[in-house]
Chain A
């Protein structure tokens, strides 16, 4: 295959870029919707612009080894900026674009950022706000000039102006860019991604060209991706998943990155682009299903019956048909009919008609959720990895899908289980080091070069890896039974009404939980029952909502009791929180994982109330609004008891 030649010969991203520009210069590399029309940049144009931008940055004084902050939504210009920085041997450091200035400060200081390439006025304002505390910061370039007319600071640059400067420099020094690219080596750091910091301060994970190219190449070969594939890039650029699935794999395989028009138009853009390759955390799949469920509940009775009937057919045989397993002729016929009437139109609405491969990772996915997508014919698979491993450790091979495993070790990666159950990984895809943190690097890599993932898991009889929980989160109940909070929470979160759950039980006699309702799903449910509510806190406090959630909890208890070893983890008591857990209040990380200890500390009174048998508890909570102001919400929370089930002990 001529496609494979590119990555075999080229060992850095800038060289791959030049190769694509040479081989398929006219083919689409990036797209973005602007003024309602999809604009396209070909590989040739991307290479030209990235090169010109690199020269412009060199003119400003960017040096080999400099860290360059990239802040903004997914925009072609920012992806090109990453490539431009790599051309000069600099290291792009993408930051979460929705973080407030204060949160960005740590990373900007830690990485001694001299240059920042940002999306718009909003990001520029944030940087100006903390500029006093960033002595290293010299230049800021912005992509969108809107609102920037009156900023006269000499260190602010329009990216287009930098391109113009760069093009002049290129004419004067035609060999400069090529020489700079030649100086780059595959063991240079290609990107630095900060861990979201579930615990402690974020750490900068230094990943080399070799690591990301090997991870991208493995994935591309594994799923036979090629230059004709399309991906929608809408997840934060600072997340390893986006870097792998958008920039790294696209630059290895030569397929096109599509950027949405704005954060709110993703669903529409998805439908218009019809990507063939798709990546989303479980939360996104969950939200899509919740929307489908809500809309079906509002549909006419005929449509609802049609939907229910064919979804039952899909549940029975859809996944097997996708896996190529034998299925009876009657079911095949019914499934084909369902495909015309229900699954096809549904996939079209979801923008998933053309998907060949879809992945999910970042958190465990509910089995029913997973089955739903597979049963309507979407080849959704799971993978496992973390920032330190380029998000590339295990992949589910086609036809070998198990909802409760993350698949087999990916090509080129060794996985082994330590004695304490922790998963260890070795391969070319590992991090080079944590930036300026030799202590943390030494802790994370053992003597044999294995990376300690911090996750607990085991291999099943078919060689598939199963993740139980974070190794340090797995605790024990008072009676010594295993307590895996994530496992319970994920079961709860599968209900469309439950947005977030936090389970407690380590060294306690039984398990209790906090529940966050999903305002969309529960609100709709309440409306249909004529239950009036004034807002989130009010809705969460309704007795009917408590009853609804109790039914969910009891169903989970029923499932847990069937799983033998987790029967003791049934949720005895729970409460519905009066506010949504929010990254702005530090309760979730920016990737929306619960910060367990922080939440436990902040709501200590509630936990005490759960375990002391009280019926209700008053609480006041400080909340931070999006504009940085703070306010207080107070509520009297009712505590509910849930029915638990006796484990049926099987005779040994």
Chain B
């Protein structure tokens, strides 16, 4: 029934290797992400999933390999540059401003879109005023989309875990990203919260056409919602393909069931 069309390759990672001193985090990994798809990265603990996300995000700089973003080779860059390239992310451990309201937290996601200067903001004058109204409208759309109207003004620290995760997703969405990186969006959630989160991820992908790269442990969830899955183990790629292929891949089964170790 899906109306979205999976497009061209938007992000291409070629032969990425990442080392911290003598520790090899990632070894010679290549895969690509197509526009509008949901791409999952899975693997056992310590497989290098979060490192991979941090490479995409510009937090880590691989020693070897090339990254192509929309066909252009990417130089070494910083996370804020990734943000400006419309890549947004959420974190494994929630990284929100606990004392600020849900509304203000999501508003921070708009920061890269703000053009007015400091003086204008301080006086809430001219461009700053027009911009803020526009940003607020956009934030309200996100609040409506994620069905969190009832906690709009609640400080984030007072919310249950599942809702905090949703707020974090909201902040990432507020940036209107072309690509969304989700680091374990469902960790520590109960079944109902996971169902809600799955629905929101699918809705985001469907309604805004956002490309999504996600790390997740829950295999059921991954197999249900992903278009393609890449499997890492000990920093190496051991599988890549549509969920059914990956499920039947000998190496993947071995890595997960521990056979042969």
Contacts and interface: CB of A to CB of B under 8 A. Distances in A.
Interface of A: 33-37, 147, 149-150, 261-262, 264-265, 268
A36 B3 contact: no
14 contacts: A34-B144, A35-B141, A36-B140, A36-B149, A36-B152, A149-B206, A149-B207, A150-B1, A150-B2, A261-B149, A262-B147, A264-B150, A265-B149, A265-B150
A37 B149 CA distance: 11
Contacts of A264: 149-150
Given A147-B203, A264-B149, A264-B150, A35 B144 contact: yes
Interface in B135-149: 136-137, 140-141, 143-144, 147, 149
Nearest to B151: A264
Task: Give the dominant DSSP class at B's interface.
Answer: helix
Contacts of B143: 35-36
A150 B3 CA distance: 7
Contact of A35 (B2, B140, B203): B140
Contacts of B137: 35
Q: Which of B137, B141, B150 has the most A CB atoms < 10 Å from its CB?
A: B150
Nearest to A625: B192
Given A35-B140, A149-B207, A150-B2, 17 more contacts: A33-B149, A34-B144, A35-B137, A35-B141, A35-B143, A36-B140, A36-B143, A36-B152, A37-B140, A147-B203, A149-B3, A150-B1, A261-B150, A264-B149, A265-B149, A265-B150, A268-B150
A535 to B, nearest CB: 12
Contacts of A147: 203
B181 to A, nearest CB: 25
Interface of B: 1-3, 136-137, 140-141, 143-144, 147, 149-150, 152-153, 203, 206-207
Contacts of B203: 147
Nearest to B2: A150
A265 B206 CA distance: 27
Contacts of B207: 149
Contacts of A34: 144
A295 to B, nearest CB: 14
A34 B141 CA distance: 9
A630 to B, nearest CB: 16
Contacts of B3: 149-150
A375 B60 CA distance: 65
Nearest to A151: B1
A175 to B, nearest CB: 40
A35 B136 CA distance: 9
A265 B149 CA distance: 7
Contacts of A265: 149-150
A264 B206 CA distance: 26
B150 A262 contact: yes
A271 B219 CA distance: 45
Contacts of A150: 1-3
Nearest to A33: B149
Contacts of B136: 36
A261 B151 CA distance: 12
A262 B2 contact: no
A459 B149 CA distance: 47
A147 B200 CA distance: 11
Q: Which of B137, B149, B206, B207 has the most A CB atoms < 10 Å from its CB?
A: B149
A147 B207 CA distance: 8
B134 to A, nearest CB: 12
Nearest to A264: B150
Contacts of A262: 147, 149-150
B206 to A, nearest CB: 8
Closest 3 CB pairs of A and B: A264-B150, A35-B140, A36-B140
Contacts of B141: 35
A264 B203 CA distance: 22
Nearest to A152: B1
A315 to B, nearest CB: 33
A287 to B, nearest CB: 15
Contacts of A36: 136, 140, 143, 149, 152
B145 to A, nearest CB: 8
A125 to B, nearest CB: 13
A33 B137 CA distance: 13
A35 B207 CA distance: 18
Nearest to B144: A35
Contacts of A261: 149-150
B12 to A, nearest CB: 30
A150 B206 CA distance: 10
Contacts of B150: 261-262, 264-265, 268
Nearest to B199: A147
A633 B203 CA distance: 34
Nearest to A268: B150
A569 to B, nearest CB: 42
A86 B1 CA distance: 37
A93 B153 CA distance: 37
Nearest to A36: B140
Contacts of B144: 34-35
Nearest to B203: A147
A147 B206 CA distance: 9
Contacts of B206: 149
B104 to A, nearest CB: 13
A35 B2 CA distance: 27
Nearest to A262: B149
A35 B153 CA distance: 13
Nearest to B152: A36
Contacts of B153: 268
A614 B119 CA distance: 77
Contacts of A149: 3, 206-207
Q: Which of A33, A34, A149 has the most B CB atoms < 10 Å from its CB?
A: A149
A537 B77 CA distance: 55
Nearest to B3: A150
A150 B152 CA distance: 30
Contacts of A37: 140
Contacts of B147: 262
A265 B153 CA distance: 11
Contacts of A268: 150, 153
A540 B69 CA distance: 58
A147 B150 CA distance: 21
Nearest to A263: B150
Contacts of B1: 150
A188 to B, nearest CB: 39
Q: Which of A35, A147, A149, A150 has the most B CB atoms < 10 Å from its CB?
A: A35
Q: Which of A36, A261, A268 has the most B CB atoms < 10 Å from its CB?
A: A36
Contacts of A33: 149
Nearest to A150: B1
A35 B145 CA distance: 10
A140 B2 CA distance: 22
A33 B207 CA distance: 23
B174 to A, nearest CB: 13
A150 B137 CA distance: 26
A165 B256 CA distance: 58
A358 B244 CA distance: 61
A143 to B, nearest CB: 14
Contacts of B152: 36
A294 to B, nearest CB: 15
A34 B145 CA distance: 12
Nearest to A149: B3
Nearest to B1: A150
A124 B206 CA distance: 19
A115 B254 CA distance: 56
Nearest to A37: B140
A261 B144 CA distance: 10
A122 to B, nearest CB: 12
Nearest to A35: B140
B197 to A, nearest CB: 16
B71 to A, nearest CB: 30
A261 B153 CA distance: 14
A150 B203 CA distance: 12
